[in-house]
Chains A and B, each alone.
Chain A
């Protein structure tokens, strides 16, 4: 395989954003929209091709590209395995949806917005492809710049506060990871993670390094108690920004745990499992309760994201096949569902410019198609069997029961709470009595909105009934991950 397919995948959006930068159209931004749509769909097709040609029967990294980069000691190394390919496909799938959504919701500076989205896509795909710690850090942090601008320029009324909070929280978490990366370099003499897997980091250094990585991933995840930037960022970000934030940026941390924390620091991962378990359980129960009390729809979904990410960390640190597979599945499913829910909020926000639950009520009478779609996603979010949301949570809980009954029982409580806030939200927004006369004048979803939401709904239900394509992709890689982890622990 000589064609550098991963580099193409990473840099295609960047190059097309450069063309958008050069394009000149004064009135409507057709050419920018077409370029970005075309390039993002091309990226998506390329990622599908990558998925198709990936050999799922091996845990090895495939399509590896290597180039000397900084003084021969840091290599520009890319590669994918069964775990990362799904996140790449998810990223490439969500980006065109965001671009379609901005046709309706972004009114000024469309060109710059599309550039920001495409640059962000480059960084996001880069995160999931990189096999070198420095490259990973580069992409992981680089994504802050476009996201900061997306929140700050196109956001709501408190956008400045939210954008700063988002940027500084994430940067503060990440600098410690940078220290850890450099320390790993001096300990092992390389930053290539496949080599680090072989060399094995000395046991006495693992705990501190693991904590440094945690500081970054915990903020990005976000885990309780550093989750507070997320509701602010979500509420103020424009719809497309919220979608990308919820669907992909949050997954970077979960992916980081799987790719870096567990394989590189097996002892520390085992040692800190009780910490992760407690933080996850607190996140699940506490943020679910907080979500119950929200009056802002976006805030409610944001808190529910924190709770769902709590399941993900819980599942990852069970180190069981069910738990880790459930976590990956939950991340993909949450990527689809939360993206859809934010788009749903965006649809009514574009019409009434309010995110408050109290503004709405009885939408089912006037917007039947919209209500159906909203209902599907709400039910998927609470984990109704037959949707992707169910399978992830079910597998995670199965995994957790093998490790700790207490944690599993408490986490199951979160499922009930999740049903409570989602159903209550649906009741207040979709059903109930119409108080607000403006709702009667609303138009139902238009074509582009139908395209976005129906595609997402199709995949949520399709993969809910038939999860095999996803499961088969990452199954072998997950086995390899757990085997290496067990091997490392047995060798002590």
Chain B
């Protein structure tokens, strides 16, 4: 039993520290700064704990909790991205009066939920983790409660997400009914193609998961919530839950549903193509950067799902590489938004970027790198992400998926180019306020330099990712 707790150390540490800083926050006045800094410290310590833990596969608690290199990779990705998202948005949070001590604590709670999601090997644990994450996200979406749009987006997200959770739970119970177990390994043994009920359950579970990663046709909440929520929250939404959602999708394909892959694939291919097309087409007319990034993230998820849809290890690897590079690009892009301040307000329209290249060349060139990378133009990092995906897709000879995917990259290149056009080609020039936000600048710098130098040694990321599937 004690050994088992050792394996659970990151989760135990995280939950205990959440409770202690919650107490701290309640009993100390104006505790935001302390709680915030402690949160960063906790995130770093958790990374250290995970890195110190061995990577070998261990299942505990009646095989319901699994610790392996796969879950550890995702945990570290979640922690690092949250660390960057939180710290680069600190200025934004305090200046927009969001500096309540609950803010970082709720983020930590959602991270705890995601930890259980990526480590789950059982439907119940999986559902609990998912709900802990979702409930925290509902609160986060409406954290700016005096703002009408923030509250609206919170309610919208809550209603739709609760519905999808319901569908997911229904799927889980069907699956239990047809296979007689909640454990992933046992379900995998029980499931066969003839088990029509289980295929039904699979569809419900897929709907729930597709909602969480905002894939078409379950994407409706994304643009509204992204636009309505404060930018710092949108940043978190765009990065961290997607990572966990994709990890779950891969996990479901790897273990419980590995025997009915064909049925999964058909649906995933459709979802992937639909997301790529909608993400590319709908973003063209957007004027708000956050809304545009929402559609762009739908498109990106489409590419990541294309890798998952192959049903091969190489495809999963390419998806994980894709989502890792996606995280880097999005942290960079949102950090740029924290520097767009004019007349005492943070701006979020594309027209506010008009001609900033003249007075703010560094910000402009960073956005240029990030946007070209998102468009997938070589030699930037985003190209390699797409390259891995399409290599995996074409290995399975799914030509239609590859060609549609690549044609949508051309369409989506159009709206990225439109932003670059606004930054570089427009004659008017906007002078932004000086924002003292070192951490955002550091995040932008790191993101850009990773994207720029990725081509020197692209194997570094793919080697790590392929080691996750070594056994």
Across the interface, which residues of A come within 8 angstroms of B391, CB to CB? 182, 185
CB atoms of A160 and B421 under 8 A apart: yes
CB atoms of A168 and B414 under 8 A apart: yes
Contacting residue for B410 out of A171, A185, A186, CB 8 A:
A171
CB atoms of A71 and B377 under 8 A apart: no
Contacting residue for B406 out of A112, A137, A176, CB 8 A:
A176
State which size class the interface on A falls in. Answer: 20 to 34
Contacting residue for B394 out of A69, A71, A144, A186, CB 8 A:
A186
Q: Using an 8 Å CB-CB cutoff, how does the interface string of A146-162 with B read, 1 for contact, 0 for none?
A: 00110011000001100
B190 within 8 A of A: no
Complex: A115 Cα to B335 Cα, angstroms: 25
Complex: A148 Cα to B413 Cα, angstroms: 12
Within 8 A of B (CB), among A168-187: 168, 171-172, 175-176, 178-179, 182-183, 185-186
Complex: A112 Cα to B365 Cα, angstroms: 10
Across the interface, which residues of A come within 8 angstroms of B384, CB to CB? 70
| Segment with Cβ contacts to A, from B35-43, B226-234, B263-271, B458-466 | B458-466
CB atoms of B379 and A142 under 8 A apart: yes
CB atoms of A164 and B406 under 8 A apart: no
CB atoms of B410 and A71 under 8 A apart: no
Complex: A71 Cα to B420 Cα, angstroms: 33
CB atoms of A186 and B395 under 8 A apart: yes
Contacting residue for B409 out of A148, A163, A175, CB 8 A:
A175
CB atoms of B459 and A71 under 8 A apart: yes
CB atoms of B413 and A179 under 8 A apart: no
Complex: A171 Cα to B361 Cα, angstroms: 26
Complex: A27 Cα to B466 Cα, angstroms: 52
The distance from the CB of B125 to the nearest CB of chain A, in whole angstroms, is 34
A134 within 8 A of B: yes
Across the interface, which residues of B come within 8 angstroms of A164, CB to CB? 414, 417, 421
CB atoms of A179 and B462 under 8 A apart: no
**Given A164-B417, A172-B410, A179-B394: A134 and B425 within 8 A (CB)?**
no
B372 within 8 A of A: yes
B402 within 8 A of A: yes
B424 within 8 A of A: yes
The distance from the CB of B314 to the nearest CB of chain A, in whole angstroms, is 10
Across the interface, which residues of A come within 8 angstroms of B326, CB to CB? none
CB atoms of A138 and B378 under 8 A apart: yes
B101 within 8 A of A: no
A141 within 8 A of B: yes
CB atoms of A138 and B383 under 8 A apart: yes
Within 8 A of B (CB), among A414-471: none
Across the interface, which residues of A come within 8 angstroms of B410, CB to CB? 168, 171-172, 175
Contacting residue for B403 out of A144, A159, A176, A186, CB 8 A:
A176
Q: Using an 8 Å CB-CB cutoff, how does the interface string of A68-97 with B read, 1 for contact, 0 for none?
A: 111110000000000000000000000000
The distance from the CB of A214 to the nearest CB of chain B, in whole angstroms, is 15
Contacting residue for A71 out of B383, B414, B424, B463, CB 8 A:
B463
A489 within 8 A of B: no
CB atoms of B417 and A148 under 8 A apart: yes
Contacting residue for B417 out of A69, A167, A186, CB 8 A:
A167
CB atoms of A69 and B414 under 8 A apart: no
CB atoms of B459 and A70 under 8 A apart: yes
Across the interface, which residues of B come within 8 angstroms of A167, CB to CB? 413, 417
Within 8 A of A (CB), among B350-392: 357, 361, 372, 377-379, 383-384, 387, 390-391
**Nearest CB to that of A171 among chain B residues?**
B410
Q: Using an 8 Å CB-CB cutoff, how does the interface string of A105-141 with B read, 1 for contact, 0 for none?
A: 0000000100000000000000000000010011101
Across the interface, which residues of A come within 8 angstroms of B395, CB to CB? 186
**Given A142-B379, A145-B377: A152 and B413 within 8 A (CB)?**
no
CB atoms of B377 and A144 under 8 A apart: yes
Across the interface, which residues of B come within 8 angstroms of A112, CB to CB? 361
Across the interface, which residues of B come within 8 angstroms of A69, CB to CB? 457-459
Across the interface, which residues of A come within 8 angstroms of B399, CB to CB? 179
Contacting residue for B425 out of A163, A168, A182, CB 8 A:
A163
The distance from the CB of B132 to the nearest CB of chain A, in whole angstroms, is 37
Complex: A70 Cα to B406 Cα, angstroms: 21
Across the interface, which residues of B come within 8 angstroms of A171, CB to CB? 377, 409-410, 413
B407 within 8 A of A: yes
Contacting residue for B462 out of A70, A134, A149, CB 8 A:
A70
CB atoms of B377 and A182 under 8 A apart: no
Across the interface, which residues of B come within 8 angstroms of A149, CB to CB? 424
Complex: A148 Cα to B357 Cα, angstroms: 15
Across the interface, which residues of B come within 8 angstroms of A72, CB to CB? 459
The distance from the CB of A485 to the nearest CB of chain B, in whole angstroms, is 27
CB atoms of A71 and B387 under 8 A apart: no
**Given A70-B458, A167-B417, A175-B409: A141 and B425 within 8 A (CB)?**
no
The distance from the CB of A226 to the nearest CB of chain B, in whole angstroms, is 14
B200 within 8 A of A: no
B13 within 8 A of A: no
B469 within 8 A of A: no
**Nearest CB to that of A175 among chain B residues?**
B406
Most chain A CB neighbours (cut-off 10 Å) among B372, B395, B410 = B410
**Nearest CB to that of A212 among chain B residues?**
B403
Across the interface, which residues of A come within 8 angstroms of B372, CB to CB? 145
**Given A71-B462, A134-B387: A153 and B425 within 8 A (CB)?**
yes
Contacting residue for B413 out of A137, A142, A168, CB 8 A:
A168
CB atoms of A137 and B463 under 8 A apart: no
**Nearest CB to that of A184 among chain B residues?**
B394
The distance from the CB of A379 to the nearest CB of chain B, in whole angstroms, is 38
The distance from the CB of A31 to the nearest CB of chain B, in whole angstroms, is 17
Within 8 A of A (CB), among B424-448: 424-425
Within 8 A of B (CB), among A15-62: none
Contacting residue for A175 out of B407, B458, B463, CB 8 A:
B407
**Given A138-B378, A142-B378: A179 and B402 within 8 A (CB)?**
yes
Complex: A247 Cα to B458 Cα, angstroms: 32
The distance from the CB of B356 to the nearest CB of chain A, in whole angstroms, is 13
CB atoms of A137 and B378 under 8 A apart: yes
**Nearest CB to that of B386 among chain A residues?**
A178
**Given A142-B379, A145-B372: A152 and B424 within 8 A (CB)?**
yes
The distance from the CB of A330 to the nearest CB of chain B, in whole angstroms, is 29
B19 within 8 A of A: no
Complex: A163 Cα to B407 Cα, angstroms: 19
Complex: A185 Cα to B361 Cα, angstroms: 40
Complex: A431 Cα to B357 Cα, angstroms: 44
Across the interface, which residues of A come within 8 angstroms of B383, CB to CB? 138, 141
Across the interface, which residues of B come within 8 angstroms of A179, CB to CB? 390, 394, 399, 402-403, 406
The distance from the CB of A149 to the nearest CB of chain B, in whole angstroms, is 6
Contacting residue for B379 out of A138, A153, A176, CB 8 A:
A138
Contacting residue for A183 out of B361, B394, B414, B457, CB 8 A:
B394
Most chain A CB neighbours (cut-off 10 Å) among B378, B457, B466 = B378
**Nearest CB to that of B402 among chain A residues?**
A179
Most chain B CB neighbours (cut-off 10 Å) among A68, A141, A182 = A182
**Nearest CB to that of B409 among chain A residues?**
A175
Complex: A15 Cα to B403 Cα, angstroms: 36
Complex: A69 Cα to B230 Cα, angstroms: 41
Complex: A55 Cα to B399 Cα, angstroms: 43
25 cross-chain CB contacts under 8 A: A68-B459, A69-B457, A70-B458, A70-B459, A71-B462, A138-B378, A138-B383, A141-B378, A142-B379, A148-B420, A149-B424, A152-B424, A164-B417, A171-B377, A171-B410, A171-B413, A176-B403, A176-B406, A178-B390, A178-B406, A179-B399, A182-B387, A182-B394, A183-B394, A185-B391
A-B contacts besides A164-B421, A179-B390, 13 pairs, CB < 8 Å: A69-B458, A69-B459, A71-B462, A139-B379, A145-B372, A152-B420, A153-B357, A153-B425, A160-B421, A164-B417, A175-B406, A179-B402, A182-B390
**9 smallest beta-carbon distances between A and B, as pairs:** A175-B406, A138-B378, A182-B394, A152-B425, A141-B378, A172-B410, A142-B379, A138-B379, A142-B378
Using CB atoms and an 8 Å cutoff, list the residues of chain A in contact with chain B.
68-72, 112, 134, 137-139, 141-142, 144-145, 148-149, 152-153, 159-160, 163-164, 167-168, 171-172, 175-176, 178-179, 182-183, 185-186
